[in-house]
Structure 1
Amino acid sequence: MKEKSRKRTNAAVLILACALIAGGCCAQAAAGDNTKGVAQQASVKNQELKIKRLEEKTTEQANQSEKKKSASASSKFTEAQTKESNWNLLLVNPWNKLPEDFSVDLAKLPGGHAIDRRAYADLQAMMDAARAEGLSPIICSSYRTEEKQRTLYQNLVDKYLARGYSKKQAKQEAGRWVAAPGTSEHQSGLALDIVSSKYQSLDEKQARTPEQKWLMVHCHEYGFILRYPKEKKDITGINYEPWHYRYVGKKAAKEILRQGVCLEEYLRDRSL
């Protein structure tokens, strides 16, 4: 028994001694090769920096993906929009261009304006109701050809270029006010710019006019929505326009108002 105990003790001492020797060797190696240690630390830091940058890039890509998903709604629903039954829910924005073969049957309006014939009756009813309240809304813009849209867009781009913006910046800024050709709702025949006859400037003061206050409350009753709300510009891709109304049909308009969403969000939720 004592012999076994002595052997165990010797083994423990031997292990401890080996550990001390190894530790001493490591300490000596570290002291004798300090340059190598510094290089290793630098390498580790470089690796950590690369990992951090990769994580940041991944996070940014995920955020951009989610933003585009919300802005362009769902690709499945976008395909369904081309069907006749969904004509009123056609999504047109910076991420969803009009089909190349798109065409629309227009109904003429006073002042040389026009709208999709299927929305004509509801538009007339809305304008008549507003006038019956003693208001004087007027349409200042409606359907546009691609040529007209291109001219408006390029004119604004040129203005930003004249202010010293780069070509890329000029296009980005212009696109937040006048959509690039092919991405404008005005080309769909479903959008209108409506202003007060007493204040016709296209700025945020337009929202204070009696005409806009009435339209914002009642337009859904006639199938229209305020297309570009102030709090939704990061989703729609367009700045706040308290004069731009879009026809979506009475059912969709009421739901969009009830939910407090924009068209992109409404279509996205329908596709889930």
Structure 2
Amino acid sequence: MLCVIAGKILNPSFTTSFYDNTTHHIASEANGWNLILVNRDNYIPDDYKVQLTELSNGKKVDSRIYPELQEMFDAAREQGYGLFVREGYRTQEEQQQLLDEKIEAYENDGKSKSEAKRLAEQWVAIPGTSEHQLGIAVDINADTTKSSSDDVYNWLAENAHTYGFIKRYPSNKTDITGVINEPWHYRYVGKEAALEIYSQGICLEEYIDMLE
């Protein structure tokens, strides 16, 4: 089993918000909670709330994606693949801590403060722009005692859309997403949208553009 409880996100849509005294465009849920687009250009609303389900390993996800996540894991395991959720929901504070640690690591390597920040933000999402803060994205790793990472990533790439998940950051879409290839990062969008995105070989940004 993956976890325990159930629930809901509640929040209105806004057009601006404030992080570090800067005005930012705020992600909209106009296309549905499952299609909220969060990236460097679209920040999570300040009052975005998540009701979480805790997985057996202590990680948490938005309760609404849990049934399909469990279904996907069951299917993979029935076919002999070993996998687990390495990362689920993160708070704003946890995201900030990750970024601060990455900046510090670069500074310890001799980079200036500004250069360290620039480099760190290529690897760690700026707080307020990470899909992990939504609770509907997961990093999935292989249990290497049972499967190789490549085998698990290949299975996910071919099958995740069946359960409503997409590979959020494909290698050929970095110029659009702004994020390097992450074969472990899967985002819930719902089965209909996932099938469209998979079939057309597009990313979430392109799909949202089609809807608008």
Query: 1:91 and 2:32 equivalent?
Result: no
Gap change, CA 1:178 and 1:167, over 3 Å in 2: same
- Asked if the contact 1:175–1:238 (Cα under 8 Å) also holds between the matched residues in 2, the reply is no
Residue of structure 2 equivalent to 1:238: 179
Contact 2:161 2:194 in 1 (8 A): yes
Task: State the shift of 1:177 in Å.
Answer: 1.7
Please tell me the residue identity of whatever aligns with 2:101. Answer: N
Q: Cα 1:100–1:78, aligned 2, differ >3 Å: closer, same or farther?
A: closer
Deviations 1:223-249 (A, max 9, x none): 000111111112111111110010010
Structure 2 residue corresponding to 1:157, chosen from 93, 100, 103: 103
Pairwise CA RMSD = 1.8
Residues 143 and 190 in structure 1, CA contact (< 8 A), matched pair in contact too:
yes
TM-score (norm 1): 0.65
Picking from 55, 60, 65, the partner of 1:114 is 60
Does the CA contact (< 8 Å) of 2:37 and 2:205 recur in 1? yes
Structure 2 unaligned regions, length at least 5: 1-24
Matching residue of 1:172: 118
> Distance in 2 between the 1:154 and 1:78 partners?
24
Classify the secondary structure of the residue corresponding to 1:110: coil
Alignment-mate amino acid for residue 99 of structure 2: Y
Larger radius of gyration: 1
Q: Deviations over 1:58-109 (max 9, x none)?
A: xxxxxxxxxxxxxxxxx8x953x1x5x6000111111111000110111111
Aligned to 1:247: 188
Partner Cα separation in structure 2 for residue 124 and residue 224 of structure 1 = 12
Q: Does 1:187 align with 2:141?
A: no
- Unaligned segments of structure 1, at least 5 residues: 1-74, 200-204
Matches within 5 A, 1:24-63: none
Whether 1:259 and 2:200 are equivalent positions in the alignment is yes
TM-superposed CA distance for 1:170, in Å, is: 2.1
TM-score, normalised to structure 2, is 0.83
Deviation at 1:269, TM superposition (A): 1.8
In 1, Cα distance between equivalents of 2:201 and 2:118: 27
User: What is the number of equivalent residue pairs in this alignment?
Assistant: 186
Counterpart Cα distance in 2 of 1:173 and 1:240: 16
Matched, 1:133 2:74: no
Match of 2:159 in 1: 218
Contact 2:27 2:45 in 1 (8 A): no
